[in-house]
Amino acid sequence: MLVLHGGRSEGLEAPPPWNLPGARMRLFFPSLARATAGQSVLLCRVRYRCRGWNGEREDASRDARWALGELARTVGELPVVVVGHSMGGRAALRVAGEPAVRGVVALAPWCPEGEPVGQLAGRRVVVLHGDRDRVTDPEASRRLLIRARQAGAETRFVPMRGGDHAMLRRRSDWHRTVAEEVAGMLGDAASG
């Protein structure tokens, strides 16, 4: 499992050693560990080189691809589920076409119009988005999933009623749902 935190649209500086987006995603680790107990699951997180997406540089997706390569190099070709929030959700969706990736769980992802979806074909893609999100657009997530389904992805949109972008409102619902989705994807990958 590869976990990607959020960031900014622009920012070439390195994230500080302790940053809120990274801490926010670490809060998911206990529920993910409980949901996958008894399975041989490696839980990894990416520390980006830059704070931002940075336009065509796509720094977050480049770092995620590098991490997937390092996983393959160090532990072999294993099925991977990528979990990402906000900018990390965008990066998770972008790297879904990598051979090891079986599925993506994107949390309040940043989905600009025209975002590519071809790489999602044959993948399971679940998007959770709060209806009180004022940073990223839940409707943009829905539109991306419609296009992804047309491209051959298995998609599901999970509305998080009362949920905000920081995933603090109804936090236990976010954690439970993410853990269930990841466990289901990893279980499907192991039996497939």
Instruction: Assign residue 95 a region (left: φ > 0; alpha: ψ between -120 and 50; beta: otherwise).
Output: alpha
- CATH code where residue 38 lies: 3.40.50.1820
Confidence of residue 105 (pLDDT cuts 50, 70, 90): very high
Confidence of residue 27 (pLDDT cuts 50, 70, 90): very high
Domain that holds residue 44: 2-10+17-191
- Specify the number of domains making up the chain: 1
Q: Can you give the pLDDT at residue 39?
A: 85
Q: What is the pLDDT of residues 33-78, one digit of tens each?
A: 999 988 888 999 999 999 999 999 999 999 999 999 999 999 998 9
Q: Can you give the pLDDT at residue 58?
A: 97
> Quick one: average pLDDT of 114-125?
97
> Quick one: average pLDDT of 115-128?
98
Q: Can you give the pLDDT at residue 116?
A: 97
